[in-house]
Amino acid sequence: MSVTIWHNPRCSKSRQTLALLQDQGIKPIIRKYLDEPPTLAELAALQKMLDLPVIAFVRTGEAAFRQTGLSKTASDDDLLAAMARHPILIERPVVFANGKAALGRPPEAVLAIV
């Protein structure tokens, strides 16, 4: 089974989720998404996999959210484009496994897909 985590090593939830996966004997592919930002197509695919409104995986408290002029009522297209330009806006961590995705908030939430 291939497991990938979009990881930010500075984020405690991201570190906890990575440790949880490793404790389960899983050696995930680690993608530091701030260094290797996802494309617009990857973000759109993530939205379909999560089956959540786009705003549900946007970090609205980030300065970039305000600086880009976004609001919680912005269109999905605008939010996805902003996340592609400013990956700091992507809620983290995201884990992909078995054709599914899950947010690691709380970290244990990712166990449902691995």
Q: Which residue has the tokens 């906890």?
A: 16
Q: What is the pLDDT of residue 41?
A: 98
Active site residue 11: yes
**Where exactly are the structural domains of the chain?**
1-33+92-114, 39-90
According to DSSP, residue 38 is labeled P
Question: For residue range 32-65, what is the model confidence (pLDDT) as tens digits?
Answer: 999 999 999 999 999 999 999 999 999 999 999 9
Q: Which SS3 state, helix, strand or coil, does residue 50 take?
A: helix
**Which of 1, 3, 6, 11 is flagged as catalytic?**
11
How far is residue 106's CA from residue 114's CA, in Å, rounded to a whole number? Answer: 15
* Domain formed by 1-33+92-114, architecture: 3-Layer(aba) Sandwich (3.40)
How far is residue 114's CA from residue 102's CA, in Å, rounded to a whole number? Answer: 10
Q: What is the pLDDT of residue 1?
A: 83
Kindly state the tokens that stand for 12: 């405690």
Question: For residue range 20-34, what is the model confidence (pLDDT) as tens digits?
Answer: 999 999 999 999 999
What's the whole-model pTM score?
Answer: 0.95
How far is residue 58's CA from residue 50's CA, in Å, rounded to a whole number? Answer: 13
Q: What is the pLDDT of residue 114?
A: 95
